């Protein structure tokens, strides 16, 4: 017959009150060492297999895996060790510490602030320690007795702690879900950038909705209690949050019809730049000056928007140039084409062109037409580069650029004297 753990413990020499806690402490230390060794081996493989999860946990994958393994092994030890006595309390404390550290690493990997992490970790430690020692019920009863009566409902300290723990846990679950789903969608090869962004937004909304209803169920909130306030809530949403919901729906529509995508170069009113991201409320447009304009999504649906890269990224630029009437126009036009063709950002196809547009007061006006394929890099620097090259070519070949002149003719009138 296989010997049981109590029989094996009885064979140990010395005082059981001293030896058994030491054995339990040594067993807990051995479990931590084994969990650390296993996590060192398993974490890299798990990170390669589940890259989205590794990125979502932000470098905490190995300590989380270590404490998960330690918690599981210690839970087995606590279940097998005879209940009662200091030795069982030592193992229960080790298990409580492992679970508290596990919660800490998970929450910190999701950027949950310490004021929310520490109380939850302490609460888990106390609950697991008291539960493993058979004393959770008295602790719960004590916390439940501390409270106040608010009408027909009693608010207790245990209820507040449970509510805070559930809210923090749901918030962490939503953030972890958003990170994992967002990174999984970002790594998907079957979707373009716009479809990925739309899927991420819809996934985030779905996670929040599911967490809301799960929280309502866990907290035991009766939704029928809010029927009295449903009309007022509807009016508040209709008036106070009208713009917010309008911008949310407008952002989803923009992503669905793909009229504006991240990376597009757009002009909205006085704002010109490339789209950095499409958020829930606004579109971020970064200008060439490094300024980030936040344009409400609804404005992009109701105002006229120039999208320079909607169907084709090629953009044509007009560069006006004037030469003197006494210049060789054929030579001047050849030099204009040469300056445009030598500019590095100007495309060869479609090729540059020169148009004679007007005979001005003191110059012959031309437009140099060039094409570029990277409007997000700016258009002013292209004009500057072409005009600098053209200035040197004009000086080398004697082509003049006239400046405005005004000639005043005054009729001299002689005075006749008798």
pLDDT the model gives residue 388? 92
Do 330 and 297 fall into the same domain?
A: no
pLDDT the model gives residue 2? 42
Do 364 and 276 fall into the same domain?
A: no
Do 340 and 287 fall into the same domain?
A: no
| Cα gap 285→407, rounded to integer Å | 49
Do 354 and 389 fall into the same domain?
A: yes
Do 44 and 125 fall into the same domain?
A: yes
Do 281 and 342 fall into the same domain?
A: no
Do 298 and 319 fall into the same domain?
A: no
CATH no. for residue 263? 2.30.30.60
Residue 357: strand, helix, or coil: strand
| Cα gap 82→93, rounded to integer Å | 15
b/e map of 234-271 (b: 16 or more CB within 10 Å)?
Answer: eeeeeeeeeeeebbbebbbebbeeebbbbebbbebeeb
pLDDT the model gives residue 1? 38
User: Is residue 414 situated within a structural domain?
Assistant: no
Task: Provide the residue range defining the domain that includes 113.
Answer: 5-134
Give 103: exposed, middle or buried? Use CB within 10 Å, 0-12, 13-18, 19+.
buried
pLDDT the model gives residue 214? 81
Do 27 and 122 fall into the same domain?
A: yes
Do 54 and 124 fall into the same domain?
A: yes
Q: Which two tokens stand for residue 246?
A: 């309008």
Please, which residues bridge with residue 252 across strands? none
Closest CA relative to residue 206, chosen from 249, 242, 177: 177
Structural domain ending residue among the three candidates 307, 336, 358:
307
pLDDT the model gives residue 226? 57
Q: Digits of tens for pLDDT over the chain (418 positions)?
A: 344 455 455 445 555 566 767 777 888 888 888 888 888 888 788 777 777 767 777 677 888 888 888 888 888 877 776 666 677 777 778 888 888 888 888 888 777 777 777 777 777 777 777 766 555 555 556 566 666 666 666 666 666 777 777 777 788 888 888 887 777 777 777 666 666 777 777 788 788 888 887 877 777 666 665 565 556 656 665 665 667 777 777 777 777 777 777 778 888 877 788 888 877 778 888 887 778 888 888 887 777 888 877 777 788 889 999 888 888 888 988 999 999 998 998 988 888 999 998 888 788 889 999 998 887 777 888 899 999 999 999 888 888 887 766 655 555 444 444 4
User: Is residue 356 situated within a structural domain?
Assistant: yes
CA contacts within 13 A on the Cβ side of 223: 8
| Total tally of structural domains belonging to the chain | 3
pLDDT the model gives residue 163? 76
Do 283 and 385 fall into the same domain?
A: no
User: Is residue 128 situated within a structural domain?
Assistant: yes
CATH no. for residue 328? 3.30.70.100
Q: Would you say 319 and 387 are in contact if contact means Cβ atoms under 8 Å apart?
A: yes
Structural domain ending residue among the three candidates 78, 106, 134:
134
Do 13 and 122 fall into the same domain?
A: yes
Do 79 and 121 fall into the same domain?
A: yes
Q: What DSSP line would sit under 104-120, residue for residue?
A: HHHHHHTT--HHHHHHH
| Contacts of 129 by beta carbon, 8 Å cutoff, 6+ apart | 89, 92, 93, 95, 96
- Torsion angle of the four alpha carbons 270, 274, 278, 284, in this order, in degrees rounded to the nearest 10: -50
User: Is residue 77 situated within a structural domain?
Assistant: yes
User: Is residue 126 situated within a structural domain?
Assistant: yes
User: Is residue 143 situated within a structural domain?
Assistant: no
Q: What angle do CA 135, 138, 143 make, to 5 degrees?
A: 125
User: Is residue 151 situated within a structural domain?
Assistant: no
Structural domain ending residue among the three candidates 102, 134, 166:
134
User: Is residue 175 situated within a structural domain?
Assistant: no
H or E element in which residue 418 lies: none
């Amino acid at each position: 017959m296989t010997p049981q753990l109590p029989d094996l413990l009885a064979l140990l020499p010395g005082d059981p009150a001293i030896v058994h806690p030491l054995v339990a402490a040594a067993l807990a230390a051995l479990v931590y060492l084994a969990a650390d060794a296993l996590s060192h081996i398993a974490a890299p493989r798990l990170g390669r297999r589940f890259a989205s999860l590794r990125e979502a946990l932000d470098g905490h994958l190995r300590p989380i895996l270590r404490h998960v393994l330690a918690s599981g092994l210690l839970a087995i030890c606590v279940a097998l060790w005879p209940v009662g006595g200091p030795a069982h309390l030592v193992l229960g404390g080790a298990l409580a510490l492992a679970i508290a550290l596990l919660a800490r690493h998970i929450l910190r990997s999701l950027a949950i602030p310490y004021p929310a992490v520490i109380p939850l970790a302490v609460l888990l430690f106390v609950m697991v320690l008291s539960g493993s020692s058979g004393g959770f019920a008295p602790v719960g009863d004590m916390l439940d007795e501390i409270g106040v009566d608010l009408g027909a409902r009693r608010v207790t300290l245990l209820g507040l702690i449970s509510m805070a723990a559930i809210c923090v846990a749901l918030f962490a679950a939503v953030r972890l879900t958003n990170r994992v789903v967002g990174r999984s969608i970002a790594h998907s090869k079957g979707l373009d950038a716009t479809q990925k962004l739309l899927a991420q937004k819809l996934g985030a909304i779905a996670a929040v909705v599911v967490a809301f209803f799960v929280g309502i169920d866990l907290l035991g909130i009766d939704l029928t209690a809010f029927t009295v306030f449903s009309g007022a809530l509807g009016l508040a949403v209709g008036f106070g949050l009208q713009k917010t919901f309008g911008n949310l729906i407008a952002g989803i529509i923009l992503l669905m019809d793909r009229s504006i995508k991240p990376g597009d170069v757009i002009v909205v009113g006085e704002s010109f730049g490339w789209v950095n991201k499409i958020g829930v409320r606004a579109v971020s447009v970064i200008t060439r000056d490094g300024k980030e304009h936040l344009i409400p999504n609804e404005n992009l649906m109701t105002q006229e928007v120039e999208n320079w890269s909607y169907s084709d990224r090629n953009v044509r630029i007009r560069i006006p140039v004037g030469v003197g009437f006494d210049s060789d126009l054929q030579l001047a036009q050849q030099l204009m084409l040469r300056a445009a063709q030598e500019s590095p950002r100007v495309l060869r196809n479609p090729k540059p062109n020169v148009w004679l547009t007007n005979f001005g007061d003191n110059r012959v006006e031309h437009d140099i037409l060039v094409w570029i394929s990277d409007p997000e890099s700016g258009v002013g620097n292209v004009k500057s580069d072409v005009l600098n090259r053209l200035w040197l070519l004009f000086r080398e070949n004697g082509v003049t650029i006239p400046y405005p002149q005004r000639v005043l003719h005054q009729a001299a009138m002689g005075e006749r004297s008798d």
